[in-house]
Amino acid sequence: MKIEITNVKGFSDYLPPKSQIRDKIRKIAEKYFKLYGFVPVETPIIEFDELMRSNSLANEEEDEAISDRFKLKDRAGRKLGLRYEFTFQLAKIFKQNPNIKLPFRRYQIGEVFRDEPIRTGRTRQFTQCDADIIGDNSINADAELLALISDILKELKINDYEIEINNRKLLNSIIESVQISNPKAVMRELDKINKIGEDAVKTNLRKYTTPNQIVTLFKLLEKSLEFFK
């Protein structure tokens, strides 16, 4: 029987020169992480499946990334899965190591996996790059992360860029001002705008609110930051 040699859909090989470009980008990111005082962390690609679900770690919310996780079983029949991001693993680290000295500045670059439909610019295995400051709630930590991102983009000679800031407190206040009863669910839907488009998000929001509330919500979201001062 003739076997067709091909990659599994959603997974890619990277050969020179693309592999060399990817390696250069990684090294530039790591250089600035270290300059800003971040230390590397490595976590397993495979975790217990129950650990990946939202009800197992208090600071992890249910979203599509969780439902799109790859599920596995080992020879003993234990339910496992491929990591779909680093956030839940960071929460696991702090549960296992409660005496970590704060503030803790960590970075991680590695492969994550999601069993989701293939679309342009997204594969089922992709490289995620995270930098977090844990235990410092000051605005200085936020400003430092923005400066870090800016320095990396400049080093990569990406001059035309825009850094977007997600202020969950502000977004939650806007949602509550429209008197929507399930702000977390609405926030998850709003996060999908770039992925599925505004019209599709508005359709999904009908599960949680009324058409008039949806119109009011999007009018508020179009306002500039000056409006909310």
- Kindly report, residue by residue over 22-46, the tens digit of the pLDDT: 999 999 999 999 999 999 999 999 9
Q: What share of the chain is helix, strand, coil (3-state, %, to 5)?
A: 45, 15, 40
Q: Per the domain annotation, does 2 fall within a domain?
A: no
Residue with tokens 């005496």: 99
Q: Per the domain annotation, does 45 fall within a domain?
A: yes
Q: Per the domain annotation, does 4 fall within a domain?
A: no
Q: What's the pLDDT score for residue 1?
A: 76
The mean predicted confidence, pLDDT, of the chain is 90
Task: Clarify whether residues 100 and 203 are in a common domain.
Answer: no
Task: Clarify whether residues 78 and 134 are in a common domain.
Answer: yes
Q: Per the domain annotation, does 6 fall within a domain?
A: no
Q: For residue 86, what is the enclosing H or E element?
A: none
Q: Per the domain annotation, does 1 fall within a domain?
A: no
Task: Clarify whether residues 109 and 54 are in a common domain.
Answer: yes
Give residue 61's pLDDT band: very low, low, confident or very high (50, 70, 90): very low
Reading the block at residue 138, the tokens are 């000051």
Task: Clarify whether residues 154 and 173 are in a common domain.
Answer: no
Query: Looking at the 3D structure of the chain, how many domains does it have?
Result: 2
Q: Per the domain annotation, does 5 fall within a domain?
A: no
Task: Clarify whether residues 19 and 119 are in a common domain.
Answer: yes
Task: Clarify whether residues 86 and 192 are in a common domain.
Answer: no
Last residue of a domain, one of 116, 132, 165: 165
Domain residues for 214?
167-223
Q: Per the domain annotation, does 22 fall within a domain?
A: yes
Q: 195-221 burial string, b = 16+ CB within 10 Å, else e? A: eeeeeebbebbeebbeeebbebbeebe
- The C-alpha angle 192, 173, 62, rounded to 5 degrees, equals 40
Please tell me the number of Cα atoms within 13 Å of 181 on its side-chain side: 5
Task: Clarify whether residues 193 and 95 are in a common domain.
Answer: no
Percent of the chain with pLDDT over 70: 96
Reading the block at residue 81, the tokens are 């899965």
- pTM for the whole structure: 0.81
- Residue 104 is part of a domain; what is its CATH number? 3.30.930.10
Query: Higher-confidence residue: 122 or 193?
Result: 193
Q: Per the domain annotation, does 108 fall within a domain?
A: yes
Give residue 60's pLDDT band: very low, low, confident or very high (50, 70, 90): very low
Task: Clarify whether residues 31 and 129 are in a common domain.
Answer: yes
Task: Clarify whether residues 161 and 172 are in a common domain.
Answer: no
Residue 109 and residue 29 in contact, taking contact as beta carbons nearer than 8 Å: yes
Spatial separation of the C-alpha atoms in residues 206 and 199, rounded to whole Å: 11
Last residue of a domain, one of 125, 147, 165: 165
Task: Clarify whether residues 48 and 108 are in a common domain.
Answer: yes
Task: Clarify whether residues 144 and 194 are in a common domain.
Answer: no
Task: Clarify whether residues 153 and 174 are in a common domain.
Answer: no
Residue with tokens 């503030």: 103
